[in-house]
Structure 1
Amino acid sequence: MAQTVDGRKKISEKFIYFFGAFGGILFGYDIGVMTGALPFLQHDWNLEGHATTIGWITSGVMFGAIFGGATAGMLSDRLGRRKMILASAVIFVVGSIACGIVPNNGTGWLIAMRIFLGIAVGAASALVPAYMSEIAPARLRGNLSGLNQTMIVSGMLISYIVDYLLKGLPHQYAWRLMLAAAAIPALILFLGVLRLPESPRFLIHHGNVEEARHVLSMIRPADQVEAEINEITTTASEEAENQRKVSWGTLFSPRYRYLVIAGIGVAAFQQFQGANAIFYYIPLIVEKATGQAAGEALMWPIIQGVILVLGSLLFIAIAEKFNRKTLIMMGGTVMALSFILPAVINMVMPNAHPMMIVVFLSLYVAFYSFTWAPLTWVIVGEIFPLAIRGRASGIASSFNWIGSFLVGLVFPIMTAKMSQELVFFIFGVICVLGVLFVKFMVPETRGHSLEDIEEAAVRRSLGK
């Protein structure tokens, strides 16, 4: 790293880029790791038949994330983006280790630690992309945004591989090491962000222009510093003015109601369509379908993880070649059929091969990976006008986490009371409703400016 004039070290773009990616990897790892740990935990603590307990242990992270995501943004506005990311990494480390050393049969303790860990998951999911978009050069911001989904699913894939590598250990050790291993990427993230400066945008927002100038001198060519200072100052003033004018009630005024409902609806449908039921419980799904022990079915999460990564790369390649609504409706249609057809086939052919449902679930994951998974956040990022973007995006994110939590909680309860085919049939119907919602309630955002989208929404609201 070269020295600047005032003695501070330059920070390379690759260093910034790496830790922008690493935040997503950590986020994905902690979401995916319970998939492989759960079968061993079930066996160790004799949790078979305790569907509600299994649901809470699995979904506790998402429950904590609802609050972590909501509070992290507010605290980061007061304390700084970097400090809050470091605090989140510490919670990751402590929470991961705590999950690995819980007392035997301490289900309440494990659920509490999973919720505690979820606070960091929610915070990291909100803070790391925001921080990186503020500190990275403008020409890299689009790449960081496009790669975020790839890094999250890569983190999930890494967790599945770690689970598979540890499956040969005795049950009482395997799940503990799987959960505790999340502390390693969290520690790497902490050490990496420790070397990064505070966001220049945060510094200017708090009146510390000189320190922002020092930070920019570390990460930008000298001839770009003053221009970016002026740009950030202007944007910060506009946002402050918007915040004074906008209340929560403004979101549902005739001017914005249509767009707010559209954005929140897409974010909610992404989770209520049941994707996380597959990601969290695929070994148990295979066990119930085939009778194969869940602990021996850990290759299936890896297969799902590979499909997710390949799908995210496919999305990057085709994202700007097709309209948002075309892709997401096509994906939702195939996802619906992937859930509905196994139930129909099972009714017509009761002796159909039990692995049929797993094949259809893999087809679901393939289409989800390059449609609903990334496009939800593309649409949420494009649909809200600047005046309400902060509040509206926060609500959309909260509904997404609530959906993730509820699916993780109720899926084992539902499968304990009805067949897997019927449960997925219900999710398939929700997929159909999601397609209809997008068709009739969501505007096309590709190639349209925020002003064009807002104007069209106003005309729709006023019936013009």
Structure 2
Amino acid sequence: MSEKKISSKFIYFFGAFGGILFGYDIGVMTGALPFLQSDWNLSGGGVTGWITSSLMLGAVFGGAIAGQLSDRLGRRKMVLYSALLFMVGALLAGISPHDGVAYLIFTRVLLGIAVGAASALVPAYMSEMAPAEKRGSLSGINQLMIVSGMLISYVVDFLLKGLPEHIAWRLMLALAAVPALILFLGVLRLPESPRFLIKTGRVEEAHQVLTWIRRPEEIDGEINAINETARIEQKAEKSTSWGSLLEGRYRYLVIAGVMVAFFQQFMGANAIFYYIPLIVEKASGQAASDALLWPIIQGVILVLGALLYMAIAEKFNRRGLLMMGGTVMGLSFILPAVINSFMDTNPMMIVVFLSIFVAFYAFTWAPLTWVLVGEVFPLAIRGRASGLASSMNWVGSFVVALIFPIMTASMSQEAVFAIFGVICLVAVAFVMFRVPETRGHSLEEIEKFGAEKEAK
């Protein structure tokens, strides 16, 4: 390892840059899809749903695989591999043969493996590099990077929309290789996580890394704390199994964390992010390829919401924000269907209500889900429980992306979103009755509360 000092800002920036990668590929299909549908003459929602959702299918496996391999190979090395796989997948998608549906689905699965890996590795790396007092705000930076990646992809889609359709969508997908290349080059200079170095016996290297990102008086104490945590986790791995997640003392908290991750996707946010041009097309009659300004508006709202969250993260209780956000989100989905049942309205009204949904999602459920998941699981089962929550989240994202075009082909958009609105309100009720408050409580206090609730 080079003895040359690396700026902590450089480390945190490129440590979080994987979020840009993650966000770009979530967003890019939004603009590419209308051109792809026209170029390949895709009719019906089934094929469109599979092409879009195949990314999330890959991500289910990518997150699980990356978590296991990063414990053996290191966080940094796995981020590098993910960036390489992402570059390959993006370029392969960009050279898709005409009508090559199976080929494109395969490349999207490859991309999904890389995206899923990045979504698991980036928060882990950031939490291990950041000092304790900065972890909350740095989790906000990760969310900001993700939504910034989405906004960048929407702007790229908009700028390329004047190209011939068979070139436009391929170039949109291929350009995802650019942030992957930037990530790869940046991570080449990043150090390995001190936690991984200590776990693998490389204490001197860990000490060197900590001199770059900690005050001198903090280093020895942190090394001792990492050693103690590693000892506890090693003991937990031997004494717990997947079945432990359903044991009485853990069950309440496991259900709380996993279900919050599950609800975050089944509320329908990704239906907007993936399909907003098609939603506008159906509402207004305007061609979807001409409606690419709407994703940019959604992207700006998401970025502003992420900034708002960073400003208020430690000023309001987690449960209160989740319930308030979920209620407004649910009503913004249900009201268009209710209003339309009484009177004829401008079809674009639904798009206005969707923007309200995005605004409240951006500073409540989008970031808070992962803050809560990081806080609610007891240490002994945290690895397995967090992996289960992440997998459930990607499964939800996959299902919503797959079924939304099928649902809108068989019923009105207002009816589809009203269904998601009901799910939002069910999520609010779940948070009210089944999720503990974690803000301001130690992990030990949260674990004790969960055990007491389950014993009642």
Q: Please give the TM-score of this superposition, normalised by the length of structure 1.
A: 0.95
Aligned to 1:32: 27
Letter in 2 for 1:69: G
Aligned to 1:234: 228
Shift of 1:34: 0.3
Q: 1:277 aligns with which of 266, 271, 281?
A: 271
Q: Tell me whether 1:361 sits opposite 2:342 in the alignment.
A: no
Letter in 2 for 1:294: A
Tell me, in whole angstroms, the C-alpha distance in 1 between the residues paired with 2:44 and 2:453. 49
Matches within 5 A, 1:50-69: 50-69=44-63
1:138–1:371 distance in 2 versus 1, CA, 3 Å: closer
Q: Tell me whether 1:387 sits opposite 2:380 in the alignment.
A: yes
Post-superposition Cα deviations, 1:4-31, rounded to whole Å, max 9, x if no partner, equal: xx97111111111210231111111111
Tell me, in whole angstroms, the C-alpha distance in 2 between the residues paired with 1:129 and 1:138. 14
Post-superposition Cα deviations, 1:359-399, rounded to whole Å, max 9, x if no partner, equal: 11011111111111111111111111111111111101100
Q: Is the 8 A contact 1:10 1:219 kept in 2?
A: no
Tell me, in whole angstroms, the C-alpha distance in 2 between the residues paired with 1:219 and 1:438. 37
Out of 190-199 and 288-297, give the one that drifted further.
190-199
Letter in 1 for 2:8: E
Tell me, in whole angstroms, the C-alpha distance in 2 between the residues paired with 1:449 and 1:138. 13
Post-superposition Cα deviations, 1:117-142, rounded to whole Å, max 9, x if no partner, equal: 10000000111221122234445433
Q: Is the 8 A contact 2:15 2:187 kept in 1?
A: no
Q: Tell me whether 1:415 sits opposite 2:408 in the alignment.
A: yes
SS at match of 1:103: coil
Out of 319-328 and 139-148, give the one that drifted further.
139-148
SS at match of 2:17: helix
SS at match of 1:255: helix
Aligned to 1:19: 14
Q: 1:44 aligns with which of 4, 27, 39?
A: 39
What fraction of aligned residue pairs are identical, expressed as a percent?
72
Q: Tell me whether 1:444 sits opposite 2:437 in the alignment.
A: yes
Q: Tell me whether 1:100 sits opposite 2:94 in the alignment.
A: yes
Q: Is the 8 A contact 1:35 1:280 kept in 2?
A: yes
Q: Tell me whether 1:86 sits opposite 2:85 in the alignment.
A: no
Q: 1:403 aligns with which of 396, 399, 402?
A: 396
Q: Please give the TM-score of this superposition, normalised by the length of structure 2.
A: 0.97
1:408–1:188 distance in 2 versus 1, CA, 3 Å: same
Aligned pairs, how many?
Answer: 456
1:311–1:219 distance in 2 versus 1, CA, 3 Å: closer
Q: Is the 8 A contact 1:16 1:136 kept in 2?
A: no
Shift of 1:313: 1.1
Tell me, in whole angstroms, the C-alpha distance in 2 between the residues paired with 1:139 and 1:260. 25
Matches within 5 A, 1:23-422: 23-47=18-42, 49-217=43-211, 219-220=213-214, 224-349=218-343, 351-422=344-415
1:209–1:402 distance in 2 versus 1, CA, 3 Å: same
1:374–1:219 distance in 2 versus 1, CA, 3 Å: closer
Out of 81-90 and 233-242, give the one that drifted further.
233-242
Shift of 1:177: 0.7
Tell me, in whole angstroms, the C-alpha distance in 1 between the residues paired with 2:131 and 2:443. 22
Tell me, in whole angstroms, the C-alpha distance in 1 between the residues paired with 2:16 and 2:195. 20
Alpha-carbon RMSD across the aligned residues, in angstroms, is 1.5
Tell me, in whole angstroms, the C-alpha distance in 2 between the residues paired with 1:312 and 1:401. 21
Letter in 1 for 2:377: F
Shift of 1:462: 1.4
SS at match of 1:256: helix
Tell me, in whole angstroms, the C-alpha distance in 1 between the residues paired with 2:107 and 2:172. 15
Letter in 1 for 2:102: G
Shift of 1:219: 4.7
Q: Is the 8 A contact 1:335 1:364 kept in 2?
A: yes
Tell me, in whole angstroms, the C-alpha distance in 2 between the residues paired with 1:233 and 1:447. 25
Out of 128-137 and 74-83, give the one that drifted further.
128-137
1:215–1:259 distance in 2 versus 1, CA, 3 Å: same
Out of 92-101 and 245-254, give the one that drifted further.
245-254
Out of 230-239 and 190-199, give the one that drifted further.
230-239
Q: Which structure 2 segments of 5+ residues have no match?
A: none
